Structure 1
Amino acid sequence: MISSSRLIARRRAIAATGAAAALALTLAACGSSRDSASMPDMGHGGNSTASSSSVASSSMSDMPGMDHVASGNGLSDSQDGYRLTSKDTTLPPGKQAAYRFTVTGPDGKAVTDFAVDQTKRMHFYAIRSDLTGFQHVHPTMAADGTWSADLSSLTAGAWRMFASFTPNTGKGKGTDYVLSRTVTVPGDAAKVPLPAPAASTQADGYTVTVKGEPMAGMAHPLTVSIAKDGKPVTDLEPYLDTYAHLTAFHEGDAAFAHLHPTTKAAGDNGGPDLSFHAELSTSGNWRLFLQFQAGGKLHTAALTLRVG
């Protein structure tokens, strides 16, 4: 028989092993949120598990935009009883056009009370199926809940229209949603090949460089550096409560992700390095669109990021 002292020691060893295993699992789940604690909103997260999402959101609640992180990839027109509706199935090519839509709630009525997220009650995105022609606008709402998104000239092809919002009342109060519908722009729709993955790109004389190697389904830090004429840019102005807005779309299905900024805006002295919390749901190529403001002008830079 095993003596009582040896039995107690053995039980203690087993307990310690179990505790170590539990700690390892906890660290594995929390590692990405710890890494992201030093950066900002790429937008609306992917298909992470409920436990890892709750850990990440609790650790980033004090970051700009991180109190509003939507789930899903935005490829549906409905979620939790909320629905994006529109009579617009086609839009004219080569000229400005307004896309009109309504968000209805679980009761079937138009939602008219929306919370403010990054200074706006509604963020609206238009993206062509080959991930060209990106537009990010902030539509206006009529008293009956009908929104109107004024879009610049559209090229022929299939487009997806995304509405990103947070109900301020009702069943989904405080929950972020990204819903979408497709629209056809008539005409010859020549597909434009997606540019190869690259670490940097040029836009309006600025050089934008992205550092980071995100993995699908995992929260990961991403750093964006901005330079001009070979010198670091340090005069970025606040845009939507931060120094840059970063959105991503997946090649093939145009799945949506908003990469959340972790760099807070304080005066017209942003840059050159901006940090983001990236959580991209699917592996493959993602087209990133970075919007930043300097000298009173909004700039948009795009590059392709490979996600493993």
Structure 2
Amino acid sequence: MPSSSRTSLRRILTAAATAAALGAALTACGSSGVGHDMAGMNHGGATSATASAEASHSMPGMGHEMPGTEGGNGLSDSQAGYRLTARDATVPAGSAADHRFAITGPDGRAVTDFAVDQTKQMHFYAIRSDLTGFQHLHPTMAADGTWSAPLAALTPGTWRTYASFTPSGGDGKRNALVLSRTVTVAGATTGAALPPASATAQADGYTVTVTGDLVAGMAHGMTVGIAKDGKPVTDLQPYLDTYAHLTAFHEGDMAFAHLHPETTANGDHGGPDLSFHAEFAQSGNWRLFLQFQTAGQLHTAALTLKVA
């Protein structure tokens, strides 16, 4: 056999041996370690429930919807078969009015069975397109599933109303949802510019300070400090089963985020620092509304937060 042919044969045999060794190594890995190193994957093509749970814990932000937020970004009137319906698309300007709405389920019928979340079955929000006029209400429900939210007087413009709830039965059981619709308030509209980003805000003589490095799409801890006359506040009272309620809206598209408190309420001595679990799906400016209570009075502080 010519030398060139012998050389080619040796190369072919060497390549075959290498491939066989590699295949054996991969087979060994698949039987002993891949299932743990790549959580959620298996060789049958199906997802392992246990591995998926491990993945959701090991990767913050996975396993539930963004932003930090339960129920998605709140920019749709329907999700998972549930729909927010409202009797009126317009609201009168300059006077208080009851806004009536209902939640229909996958079967098309009005839902009447809701779980309690932070002491309420329904949290209802209204905010104008320039992120002014924030209202957080707890409507009442009639026997037929019609909710009535007592809106304070609205200024002319386009508003978005949000319903935050958790069905306690049916296909959506225990799934927190946020649905929204727009309403129009007739009259001459004067827009307000969004205040610049700032870590501090004032409300009724209180100073609120927010700290935390926030990055879109990632879970981060965020701390809110409350002071008055330069002194830390330590007499916060429970409000909705916590020491503060924090809601945020994204500049431009008005995406919704509810930041979950991590500080447990225990008596009328909360503060001065409160911890929150923060997840924002988008970068840019978010308008935050912090609600807290002292001496039986509810305070609302608003500030613009820049998320990287």
Q: TM-score range by the shorter chain?
A: 0.7 to 0.9
CA deviation after TM superposition for structure 1 residue 53, in Å: 2.7
Q: Does 1:111 align with 2:121?
A: no
Q: TM-score, normalised by structure 1?
A: 0.81
Which 5+ residue runs of structure 2 have no aligned equivalent? Answer: 1-13, 15-20, 40-50
CA deviation after TM superposition for structure 1 residue 88, in Å: 1.1
Cross-structure match for 2:43: none
Judged with a 3 Å threshold, the aligned counterparts in structure 2 of structure 1 residues 295 and 214 are, in CA distance, closer, same or farther, namely same
CA deviation after TM superposition for structure 1 residue 270, in Å: 0.3
Q: TM-score, normalised by structure 2?
A: 0.81
Q: What letter matches 1:53 in structure 2? A: G
Q: Does 1:247 align with 2:217?
A: no
1:68-217 residue pairs with structure 2 within 5 A?
70-217=70-217
The question of whether the paired residues in 2 share the 8 Å contact of 1:90 and 1:183 is answered with yes
Q: Deviations over 1:74-130 (max 9, x none)?
A: 000001111000121111111111110010001110001111000000000001000
Cross-structure match for 1:53: 63
Structure with higher Rg: it is 2
CA–CA separation in structure 2 for the residues paired with 1:113 and 1:30: 30
CA deviation after TM superposition for structure 1 residue 17, in Å: 11
Q: Does 1:235 align with 2:235?
A: yes
CA–CA separation in structure 1 for the residues paired with 2:128 and 2:291: 18
Cross-structure match for 2:269: 269
- Give the SS at the match of 2:238: coil
CA–CA separation in structure 1 for the residues paired with 2:128 and 2:119: 26
Judged with a 3 Å threshold, the aligned counterparts in structure 2 of structure 1 residues 120 and 129 are, in CA distance, closer, same or farther, namely same
CA–CA separation in structure 2 for the residues paired with 1:174 and 1:17: 34
CA–CA separation in structure 1 for the residues paired with 2:58 and 2:194: 32
Q: What letter matches 1:120 in structure 2? A: K
Structure 1 vs Structure 2 CA RMSD: 2.8
CA deviation after TM superposition for structure 1 residue 216, in Å: 0.9
Q: Deviations over 1:214-257 (max 9, x none)?
A: 11111111100000000000000000010000000000011000
CA deviation after TM superposition for structure 1 residue 32, in Å: 7.0
Larger RCO of the pair (alpha carbons < 8 Å, separation 6+): 1
- Give the SS at the match of 1:195: coil
Which 5+ residue runs of structure 1 have no aligned equivalent? Answer: 2-6, 34-47, 57-65
- Give the SS at the match of 1:53: coil
Judged with a 3 Å threshold, the aligned counterparts in structure 2 of structure 1 residues 190 and 114 are, in CA distance, closer, same or farther, namely same
- Give the SS at the match of 2:108: coil
CA deviation after TM superposition for structure 1 residue 71, in Å: 2.8
The question of whether the paired residues in 2 share the 8 Å contact of 1:199 and 1:210 is answered with yes
CA–CA separation in structure 2 for the residues paired with 1:263 and 1:31: 23
CA–CA separation in structure 2 for the residues paired with 1:54 and 1:74: 14
The question of whether the paired residues in 2 share the 8 Å contact of 1:32 and 1:220 is answered with no
CA–CA separation in structure 2 for the residues paired with 1:283 and 1:101: 32
CA–CA separation in structure 2 for the residues paired with 1:196 and 1:54: 31
Q: Does 1:259 align with 2:272?
A: no
Count of residue pairs brought into register by the alignment: 271
Judged with a 3 Å threshold, the aligned counterparts in structure 2 of structure 1 residues 20 and 118 are, in CA distance, closer, same or farther, namely closer
